[in-house]
Structure 1
């Protein structure tokens, strides 16, 4: 155990810290985080449209009329269904800020470049005949979740090209006395022109191929294989929770690091689930980001069960009080009091259940959904602070999701109990020795 602890502290922790601070990964992570509140807003309207209650659809029609169902879903259309446009702007902006560039200009160039690389036409059916309509940016498709990967790549490339020009002073400089806003605008002219021309050439290049657009190319060789091999299977889910728990064991926010890498592959899966729900079908995908939200009951490591053990089973006064103090934060999935107060971080005994418990309930949850015992995630995004059980119900849209989280809490308590008992015994003896002195 000592050598493992030394490896974590001296080898793994410095690497993970560098990875978390890497400029481009940080921009992707922060870009998604900055857009997350708007996805939650869109999700709230999805819940209103498809609230999991018998007769809700008929009641909507009775109260608000036939068109209400499609009207109330419009906030989802302007958040989820054109998400790639927002994401390319957000990541471009964040990365430009890290380089101290004109972030607004770079974000605008990111949007323009993404649209240049994307289809601007669509096909509509009129009386059984297909008609192509040009100069159209569609809601959904490549502008929605399917275009996320191209949006990320575009944002990074546009910002790097802009930075190349600015750092080498290949810009138009205005005379002194010109307002700063005007000067910044003109400094973006030359790099912006070169970026737009470059993206236009890329579009032309792909139009000469069978792919037609870079989206089809990226989706075929990267996104689809990643979804199948890593993002949407049990082994990938186990690897994800293992990685997050391992990072937390050394005090790093594993969710921020791992989710930032995996989120682009999860989002299309949850969007496919949303589309299935809207069509009245069973969601096809088990693994989405919300699947992992159901695992992290009480925070990373699923530590709400630990809180209950400390409150009702600990003999040590310190641990019992820690359990009581951690209950309210734990109910809202905030577990820093447990992670640093027990402590779990850098604790050789605590690291084992911290990693093991989430892996066990990940397997249980996956199999329960795979065998249709429990409803699958609908794709709705809810705030991560939503209390467990309520969270399970909202994520799956079914009471089975709430029941599953109750079972998960009990399983976590079983996994943690031998380790809590060991730590509690030691702490209890220390307290009694202090009284004896």
Structure 2
């Protein structure tokens, strides 16, 4: 155990801390987090449109007319379906803040750069024949979830170029006395011009290739293999929960780090599920970010089960009280009281169930959904503080999701109980010894 603790403290912790603070990963993570409220808003309207109650669509039509179903989904269109534009702006803004340069100008350049490398044509069908329409930005497609990977790459490249020109003072300098807003605007003029020329050149280069656009190139070379090998299969899911749990073992928010890397690959899978529901088809994907929401019952490590074990089985006063105090936060997926109060962080013994519990229910949940015993995640995003069981129902849109989370809790309780029992006995002996000395 001492060797494990030495590895955690002296090898893994410094590396993970450095990774978490890497400016580009931090900008991607913070950019997605800043946009998350808008995805939740879009998801609420999806729930209104497709609330999982028989006859709901017919009721909407009867009360509000046949067009209401498409009208109520418009907030989803302006959040999910042009998400790449927002993400390009958000990541550019966050990265520029780290460089302490004009973040607003960087965000605008991120949007302009992304549009410059993205198709502005679409094909429509009229009377059975296809027609190419130019000078149009489509809702969805490369401007939606499919363009996320290119959006974050372009955002980083454009902001890095912007920072380079600013730091090298390759800007138009205004005389003293000019208002700061005007000075900032003219400082962005030369860098902005060069950046847009670079993006235009990128567009021109890819138009000479079979890919035509950088989006298709990135999708085929990076996104599709990454999605197939890591983001959308059982082994990738197990690896994800392992990485998140391991990072929590050393006190780092593993979800913030790992999700920030994998979210660009999960979101398109989630969008595919939503599209399938709209078209009345079977949900294609099991692994989405919402699949992992079902895993983290009470927070990372599924620690609400630990709370229940402490309340029901602990005999030491400290652990019994810790369980009671951790119940309310745990019901809203806040796990810090358990992580730092038990403690789990930097505790080699507790590292075992913290990793084993989520991995076990990941396997069970995957096969339950793969065999259609449990409904798959619809793609709807709900607030991460949504209590378990309610969360399972909303994520899957079916009662089976709620039942699955109950089974998950019981499984994790069984995994944690032997370890809690060992620690509880030691703690009880400590308390008895302290009482005798007193």
Which stretches of structure 1, 4 residues or more, deviate above 4 A after TM superposition?
A: none
1:393 aligns with 2:423: no
- In 1, Cα distance between equivalents of 2:233 and 2:340: 32
Structure 1 equivalent of residue 190 of structure 2: 190
- In 2, Cα distance between equivalents of 1:219 and 1:357: 34
- In 2, Cα distance between equivalents of 1:287 and 1:416: 25
- In 1, Cα distance between equivalents of 2:258 and 2:335: 18
TM-score (norm 2): 0.99
Give the drift of 1:281. 1.2
Alignment of structure 1 residues 208-223 onto 2, 5 Å: 208-223=208-223
1:138 aligns with 2:154: no
Structure 2 equivalent of residue 325 of structure 1: 325
Structure 2 equivalent of residue 270 of structure 1: 270
Does the residue aligned with 2:133 lie in a helix, a strand or coil?
strand
Count, aligned residues: 437
Q: CA RMSD in A?
A: 0.6
Structure 1 equivalent of residue 44 of structure 2: 44
Structure 2 equivalent of residue 151 of structure 1: 151
Choose 395-404 or 125-134, whichever is displaced more.
Answer: 125-134
Does the residue aligned with 2:132 lie in a helix, a strand or coil?
strand
Does the residue aligned with 1:80 lie in a helix, a strand or coil?
coil
Q: Deviation digits for residues 271-317 of structure 1, max 9, x if unmatched? A: 00000011111110100000000000000100111101100110011
Does the residue aligned with 2:81 lie in a helix, a strand or coil?
helix
Give the drift of 1:117. 0.5
- In 2, Cα distance between equivalents of 1:206 and 1:283: 34
Structure 2 equivalent of residue 163 of structure 1: 163
Does the residue aligned with 1:124 lie in a helix, a strand or coil?
strand
- In 2, Cα distance between equivalents of 1:128 and 1:71: 26
- In 1, Cα distance between equivalents of 2:337 and 2:153: 38
Q: Deviation digits for residues 72-119 of structure 1, max 9, x if unmatched? A: 000000000000000000000000111011111111011001001001
- In 1, Cα distance between equivalents of 2:432 and 2:226: 55
- In 2, Cα distance between equivalents of 1:279 and 1:198: 40
Does the residue aligned with 1:356 lie in a helix, a strand or coil?
helix
Structure 1 equivalent of residue 380 of structure 2: 380
Structure 2 equivalent of residue 94 of structure 1: 94
Structure 1 equivalent of residue 175 of structure 2: 175
Does the residue aligned with 1:81 lie in a helix, a strand or coil?
coil
- In 2, Cα distance between equivalents of 1:107 and 1:345: 38
Q: Deviation digits for residues 226-265 of structure 1, max 9, x if unmatched? A: 0000000000000000000000011000000000001011
Does the residue aligned with 2:130 lie in a helix, a strand or coil?
strand
Structure 1 equivalent of residue 289 of structure 2: 289
- In 2, Cα distance between equivalents of 1:23 and 1:281: 41
Give the drift of 1:26. 0.4
- In 2, Cα distance between equivalents of 1:216 and 1:62: 43
Does the residue aligned with 1:276 lie in a helix, a strand or coil?
helix
Does the residue aligned with 1:132 lie in a helix, a strand or coil?
strand
- In 1, Cα distance between equivalents of 2:116 and 2:348: 53
Gap regions ≥5 residues in structure 1: none
- In 2, Cα distance between equivalents of 1:282 and 1:434: 61
Alignment of structure 1 residues 29-428 onto 2, 5 Å: 29-428=29-428
TM-score (norm 1): 0.99
- In 2, Cα distance between equivalents of 1:295 and 1:181: 48
Q: Deviation digits for residues 135-181 of structure 1, max 9, x if unmatched? A: 11000000000000000000000001011111111111011111111
Gap regions ≥5 residues in structure 2: none
Give the drift of 1:428. 0.7
Q: Deviation digits for residues 324-366 of structure 1, max 9, x if unmatched? A: 1111100000011111111111112111100110000000000
Give the drift of 1:129. 1.5
